[in-house]
Amino acid sequence: MPNKVPITVAVNGRSHSAEVEPRTLLVHFLRETLNLTGTKIGCDTSQCGACVVKMNGVTVKSCTAFAVQADGAEVTTIEGLADGGNLTAVQEAFWNNHGLQCGYCTAGMIMTVTEIIERNPNPSAEEVRAGLEGNMCRCTGYNNIVRAALAAAAAGQGG
Amino acid sequence: MFAADFEYRKAGSIAEAVQLLSDNPGAKILAGGHSLIPLMRFRLARPEVVIDIGGIANMKGISVSGDTINIGALTTHAEIASSADVQRANGLLAEAAGGIGDPAVRNRGTIGGNLAHADPASDWATVLTALGATVSAQGPAGSRTIAVADLIEDAFATVLGENELITTVSVPALAANQRAEYAKMAHPASFYAVVGGAVVVTMDGDRCTAASVAVGGLTPRPVKAPAVEQALSGTTLTMDSIADATARLGDDLSAAGVDIIGDVFASADFRSNIAPVEVKHALLHAIGLAHH
């Protein structure tokens, strides 16, 4: 029997208790134990940003955290942003500005853009690009993503 | 990619972490995990026991006392970059912290973990060597102070004992007549420093009265550059005098007796040629002859 550790993590406002192998990554816990598959695994080496979630209020790459490190933490995934059918300003802006093509990077992009606007409600395009340094998109060429971020900021709310 | 199976232990205090290290030879310390977790997933590290120190509250935070900035080892790069105290006392620290990795990496990665990992590409190792920073390391016999310049022995190897851990990083504040800068050539995908040069110059008007210079990224450990420092000291800093001084970096690298790193991205020859350029850029920024 592999050794297991009990953890309790509040994900999207709901408390989840589980026993996990210590080597389980946070992204695997979210996707495979909680079935929250909106968070993606891309490069697997903390470079691409497809797996970005919020933990205790800041963005983290969930492929580079063990689930045991999230014990007692509050985690928000892409599934936790919209209030029912009401998208957040960032989500609306990605939709309206076609800030995606294949969609694989989108969850991580939206989590990161949400934090960019929380920290700086009126970012310049340059500041948005700097903030997206750790999020890769292989389809859009980033222009529509930057437009979406600026539109969300102009809409006056990050979350 | 999964790490090999390991036993997870959570330390509630520094003393408990030291005890767990003593009880479990070969155990690894887990802080923010941004160095250790990738190593474990590639199975370059397979510790049987991992000791999580992430919950030790008194290893986090920044305080300025007199001319010294004390940074808890668990303080993240993002916290250092955004600290008003750090920005005021030593702008280079905040700038270097804000240039590491990307925002999400800076939210998790810690200054103590970065130093203990001793990656040759560490920005912190180079910058803190130039700044004359020290670390406090706690072991079973108590705490000792180690200069960052002496901490790193070789690539991924420090002088820390098996049962010692870094608890605090202490950095001198910059005096009003001191300027400090760091310039690096970063790998475009990983943002790791291919070559980095950090400088601290003490100025009397246009004249440099003392200089501290370190380079990293191209060497297994950060290397101080006494020949460059000597050439700068007592000199009026101009484009020409800076170029003359940085041309001596080759002598310092030879004297240090270290191998120059080369890889598919940048050969050893290329890095050796870029190193004086980065030091020159840092110096030009420091005296306002160039801008970021």
Residue-wise pLDDT for B159-181, tens only, equals 999 999 999 999 999 999 999 99
Model confidence at A158, pLDDT cuts 50, 70, 90, reads very low
All structural domains of chain B: 7-52 (3.30.43.10), 61-172 (3.30.465.10), 178-286 (3.30.390.50)
Find how far residue A29's CA is from the centre of its chain. 15
Sign of CA dihedral B78, B79, B80, B83: positive
Instruction: Specify which residues B178 forms β-bridges with.
Output: B202
Cα separation, B209 vs B20, whole angstroms: 48
Residues 6+ apart with CB under 8 A from A117: A90, A123, A149, A152, A153, A157, A158
pLDDT beyond 60 at B292: no
* b (16+ CB within 10 A) / e for B150-188: ebbeeebebebeebbbbbbbbbbbbeeebbbbbbbbbee
Cα separation, B88 vs B174, whole angstroms: 9
What digits encode the pLDDT tens for the residues A9-63?
Answer: 999 999 999 999 999 999 999 999 999 999 999 988 889 999 999 999 999 999 9
> What are the extents of the domains in chain A?
5-80, 89-154
ipTM of the complex: 0.94
In order, the DSSP letters of chain A are ----EEEEEEETTEEEEEEE-TT-BHHHIIIIIS--TTS---SSSSSS-TTEEEETTEEEEGGGSBGGGGTT-EEE-GGGTSBTTB--HHHHHHHHTT--SS-TTHHHHHHHHHHHHHH-SS--HHHHHHHTTT---SSS-SHHHHHHHHHHHHTT---
pLDDT at site B208:
98
- Report chain B residues whose CB lies below 8 A from the CB of A64: 33-34, 37-38, 105, 108
Which is it for strands B68-72 and B62-65: parallel, antiparallel or unpaired? antiparallel
pLDDT beyond 80 at B70: yes
Mean pLDDT of A96-113: 97
pLDDT at site A159:
46
**Cβ pair A23:B34 closer than 8 A:** no
CA-nearest residue to B32 within chain A is A65
Give percent above pLDDT 70 in chain B. Answer: 99
Instruction: Report whether CATH 3.10.20.30 matches the domain A5-80.
Output: yes
Contact with chain B for residue A88, Cβ under 8 A: no
What digits encode the pLDDT tens for the residues B191-244?
Answer: 789 999 999 999 999 999 999 999 999 999 999 999 999 999 999 999 999 999
pLDDT at site B117:
96
Mean pLDDT of B242-257: 96
**Encoding tokens for residue B273?**
């040629």
What's the whole-number average pLDDT of chain B?
96
Cα separation, A95 vs A144, whole angstroms: 10
Instruction: Specify which residues B166 forms β-bridges with.
Output: B137
Contact with chain B for residue A73, Cβ under 8 A: no
pTM for this predicted structure:
0.95
Which is it for strands B28-30 and B49-52: parallel, antiparallel or unpaired? parallel
Cα separation, A58 vs B81, whole angstroms: 15
Helix spans in B99-246 (H): 103-108, 111-117, 123-131, 148-151, 226-232, 239-246
pLDDT beyond 50 at B255: yes
- B110 DSSP assignment: B
Pick the CATH number of A89-154 from 1.10.150.120, 1.25.40.80, 3.20.20.30, 3.90.700.10: 1.10.150.120
Give me the residues of A, 140-159, that contact B with CB < 8 A. Answer: none
Closest CA to B56 of B6, B3, B141, B113: B113
Amino acid at B234: G
